[in-house]
Structure 1
Amino acid sequence: MQSYTLNWTQVTEFVMVGFAGVHEARLFFFLLFLTMYLFTLAENLAIILVVGLEHRLWRPMYFFLTHLSCLEILYTSVTVPKMLAGFIGVDGGKNISFAGCLAQLFIFTFLGATECFLLAAMAYDRYVAICMPLHYGALVSWGTCIRLAVACWLVGFLTPILPIYLMSQLTFCGPNIVDHFFCDASPLLALSCSDVTLKETVDFLVSLTVLLVSSTVIAVSYGNIVWTLLHIRSAAERWKAFSTCAAHLTVVSLFYGTLFFMYVRTKVASSINFNKVVSVFYSIVTPMLNPLIYSLRNKEVKGALGRAFSFKSWKRQ
């Protein structure tokens, strides 16, 4: 806990320094992150559009994929525009109010938790499709899909309520420089004049619960999938079954690998610069890669994208 005197002033605004070490190359990084952001928006909007227009993709797996694409759009939009404004020196681009900072942290945590549960729901869908194909229609009906999606969004929304409430009760008396490109919990805790032990403990337990519950569902689902695949005699049939979940497994590995590293810790980040790089990976790079992973490894999505955006299809319209 930091010591402070009686003449402190409550901080009402934070200044996010972002990537202060790249001042001379800020235009390059601005263009790089802007390109990645626009590419992410275009990819995920294309997925949503194609699944909506292509009747052959009106299946549970692609229903969840559209939700994932919506999440990726929102996920990057929470942090990237503000970061870009800071790079080019827009007036007030690096400043954010205390309430705005908490709102950004709430939305970012809400969307991150929702994505964890959504990936778990997608793993369950693959488990039923491969391990219990005869019961797939009954176990993964449209009603079940809608209920799972609503549950993912609802539980994700409830996840940050207690952590953000505790953050709002902390005292910030200066300095107000956030050494990050968005209002993440760890750099904010480093600025607090209050005892942050309870806040750190709650953050750790909430993060651990979300990650363990969702990753357990994923691990159990894929454990059963592997067991089923091992009992398929035909190598071709085995590969065909595995290929339906290869893209999802790749996305899960990328997303959970960085999240476990970033958030399941009891101490304030020890290497801020390294954590910024990891944050860029899961908040910007991964949302950009996910649509590519799903489209490049999925013949149905590639075919639908080709039909939707081919010149002949537009000409017929």
Structure 2
Amino acid sequence: MGLNRVLARAATARPRVHLVEAPGGSPVRWAVEDALEARGWRRTPSPAAADALVVAGRLPDDLRDAADLLWSQLPGPRVRRHVEALAEVDGALDTLPAALRERAAHRDDARERGGDEVSRFLPDDAEDGHMSPGGVPLAEGAEDRDGLEMDVLVHPLGPLLDRWPGGLELRLAIHGDVVADVAVQRAPVTAGAGPAAAWDAVSTTLALAGDRRGAAEASRLRRHGSSTTSADGARLRHRLRRWGRVGILPPAAAGALLAATDTSSTGVPPTDLPALLRGQDLSDVRLLVAAHAPALLLGEAARA
């Protein structure tokens, strides 16, 4: 038993956290990110690789199913925390290691989740022949830009994703790997413009692009309120220009980040997100959304 306890403590000392933002939860998410970095804990891009799910901000009732779906994708042992206020951040994170070692609770959780926990989130017609296994819609046909018929898939994004504006829910109509149309199912509540939001957008975009060093530097600038006139700010803006030139970032994403972090400008004009995403490669969508997050203009948003 002594060895088991030692191994359990070692395995849970630095939990892997899947962090998502509720609508309007940017300030809380920033605090959670800072607390994770201070503890040396890892943030995972996928719930399947996480020990804990942390939702930053107050979660509306109509997004609880989305949070439950994320929760169902975490392997056991697993822990869940909803952090609604800045004052709750440290307390919520401090309890994670001990909660992961509560063997009786995790045995009960394993019994309750049963077999396929995800199946209850599938549409009602997922088993009547209209849906493929797993609830993924089958491709339909539509005319492409050159007049030829193309397979069309509807790809959902949001409303709760890693490094994604809180509450934003999109439905992308995809021709191959190109976005043909965009429908906004739910609009986000973001932190708005300002230096902190601008550097957060830089950090998020660079993290999605795989530039962990640049993302960490941008987070530090956001945390300390550094300006673009500082040596660190100027160096990071040079990095953005270079990544835009060599194709690591889409030019529109690099341009938006440079405009947002330019203290000499009068402000960033709102971005019509559906118009921006139409015609883009699917692989660039999340980078473009992250880069334009401080100034999204969503047009006609249909309530989910």
- TM-score (norm: length of structure 1): 0.28
Which protein is richer in strand relative to its size? 2
If asked which structure has higher relative contact order (CA below 8 Å, sep 6+), I would say: 1
Q: Which has the larger radius of gyration?
A: 1
Which protein is richer in helix relative to its size? 1
- TM-score (norm: length of structure 2): 0.29
